Structure formats: structure tokens, C-alpha cells
């Protein structure tokens, strides 16, 4: 299994982080990640979605410095 991390800003303004798993030996599967605030769906090429969480941008930026 390969870990996948996808980041995007939802249409409602929340930054989301999705952690998923994919198997490199299988054909691509598509899963739906849903924004926990507004319910907007996003398609992720993965076998299984592990988590969909809002990302706190201040923590992400301070950790990168």
C-alpha cells in the first residue's frame, strides 16, 4: 500500500487534508472525500480513505519555518 495525502481549499473556504491508501499493484479505484463542513465531494484515486480533516493553516505554516 502507498499512502496518499491530498490538500485543497473547499468551496466553503475550509482547507482540507485527506489521508488515503492506494495499492500500486491494482488498477486505480476512485473514492469520494466529503468536506465535513459543507458536504462538497471530491474524488480521490485510492483504495481506502483513512481521514478527511480540516487543516489549521497556522500550524502548517509554523511547522514549515
**Which secondary-structure segment (H or E) carries 64?**
helix 57-64
Phi and psi at residue 59, to the nearest 5°: -70, -45
Question: Using an 8 Å Cβ cutoff, are 5 and 44 in contact?
Answer: no
| Domain chopping of the chain, boundaries | 2-64
Q: State the pLDDT at residue 64.
A: 47
- 46 burial (CB, 10 Å; 0-12 / 13-18 / 19+) is buried
Residue 51 has a pLDDT of 93
DSSP SS3 for 7: strand
Provide the residue-wise pLDDT of the chain in tens; the chain has 65 residues.
788 899 989 999 999 999 999 888 877 789 999 999 999 999 999 999 999 999 875 554 444 44
Point out which residues pair with 32 in neighbouring strands: 43
pLDDT computed for residue 58 by the predictor: 55
Amino acid at each position: 500500500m502507498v499512502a496518499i495525502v491530498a490538500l485543497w481549499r473547499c468551496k466553503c473556504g475550509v482547507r482540507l487534508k485527506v489521508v488515503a491508501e492506494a495499492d500500486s499493484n491494482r488498477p486505480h479505484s476512485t473514492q469520494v472525500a466529503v468536506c465535513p463542513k459543507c458536504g462538497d465531494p471530491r474524488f480521490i484515486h485510492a483504495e481506502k480513505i483513512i481521514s478527511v480533516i480540516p487543516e489549521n493553516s497556522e500550524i502548517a505554516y509554523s511547522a514549515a519555518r
